[in-house]
Chain A
């Protein structure tokens, strides 16, 4: 039982990170049909900026604010200088642009920061809590609470505010949204800013557990993408569920089956699910209207 709980908490913590990356994918995909493969870089920026700000003597809250601001600016630049000028291109072209942007951001980070791994102390100390025989780091709890708060905030934004309605309208039909007076360029820019902020907050929260370096984003983008696909691309609930499921599959796979094949186990399950439900767990079958 103690082992089960340990695997559970381990999987939830790692899964929460994937969920945040998947949420970032979802937000941008919904507004612009682009799958932004530079999403993992936002997580990297969050962790790296916080670390270097802390190292320079900036107090933690300010360092976190700085990290989120930096990521949002990078997100807006990504949209303004790379995506927006090519807005008439096909979605595939735009996706390739984001891959290029991701490589570029990694290179810049390697030069501005450095190539070493970094970490900073957890926000609530390093002494693990004992929960039913499992040792859980306080930071893991903070990560889970943080992810929960972000999901709630997103839900509030999407369903209770005018901006959220505009995002949904843009996602449903861009031309129609423009016709009723929605500034769709602004909405898409906003979605880039928001998903950059989500990524950065994720990076800030998890760095004390997972460490960070300039190319930590690649793998996260891959896992987050798998999570988003599993949950159903474009569905925020699916993104969170997909992230948690991938994290749990990895940790239970490593714990009960074989640590050598834990990634393979996770991906085999994902493939099997997508084989039966190509639209993902929570995705709607896409309908092409002619």
Chain B
């Protein structure tokens, strides 16, 4: 888009180059060593598991983080990116997964906000209107949309508006952060058309995605990251989905639960053709008492939505759910609780904890009515003894049960929220991303707690996008892709097989 593009491409091989990048947060190395280079007018995919260092690398390019070591070159000239405005000045624009737009303002205003075209102290609406048509045309939106408030558009359209906004800033490098995760197949087609149109004009696109199959449609090159390092950069044609998955996970083998655990209990949860329109379709599976079933899916796969319906946070549009042989329609979480279902929510700060309240209150809050024989009376002593019992059982590290939960580390806070679900041994425990943002030691302990709980007879459904986790704690693994169960595995499956199935490798489906 920028005027100097033709001369620049003639002299430099790469639009943007990063060499020997290192970045630590405190003592944690987010990036051990990264090299990354993108040519003008190409799509360069960046892939890796959660925590591999992709987002840190992107933040460094966008100027939101400053590397500890390494060099950055733009069009062959070494430069420093010390802030987001440095990065924007170089022509780097980022489109985040959640559109960063202003719902009440019109599409045209959103595109130009912050860099308004001005004439005599006022915004030059006519000049903006003249420019908006070309921009909307490029991103595949019709002209008449220019005057509509952004809040009335679909998510896909909002994403296109975000891209138009990036282009208005004369982008020469466009970073798309998991753009396809929130889109339907036909919407992805539109996105790809837009990307091809941009690269044809010389824009370089850095494309981050978990859906490996689509890289073969859109990317020219792919860089794989693992454990904070860039493992390899190859033309996409040299690799297969399976090979990329292998590079992403390395050769790591996960320990798993003892073989045959939890296969003999009676069926507790049984879903038949459960559907929630737009989220998932015809989901059928069962969980037995004492069994841990892992539901693995990438962002946007619909796995989390299934858990939401089981716990009554959302309604199924069709299909049936049976609990211990009885048909149930769970309309709200309080009802789910009554029939013996407990949920450990994924977003624990928003959905799981009462920040300023004590650990002990956070543990017993769901069972306040049962703490005393006198209705309405909460026995402080009972609360204390239950809390102390759980602090011991779950090895929560805290000086006292009176500490507020907000003062605790992520792993310990998660144990407290987990403890709440265990005050009464649940019939069915649903865990969503139980160890997200939790350190390795606490992760092990939480896995042990979940495993013990199943051994005590609870049916456990774990929804996770952590590959190591699903292999480690599940007795059975169901892979969810695009709202359907794409494959079923035993814990003896490899990470590669599961990732390939979740990311859309058609050949792996036959394995199930």
Are A and B part of the same complex? no
Report A's interface with B, CB cutoff 8 A: none
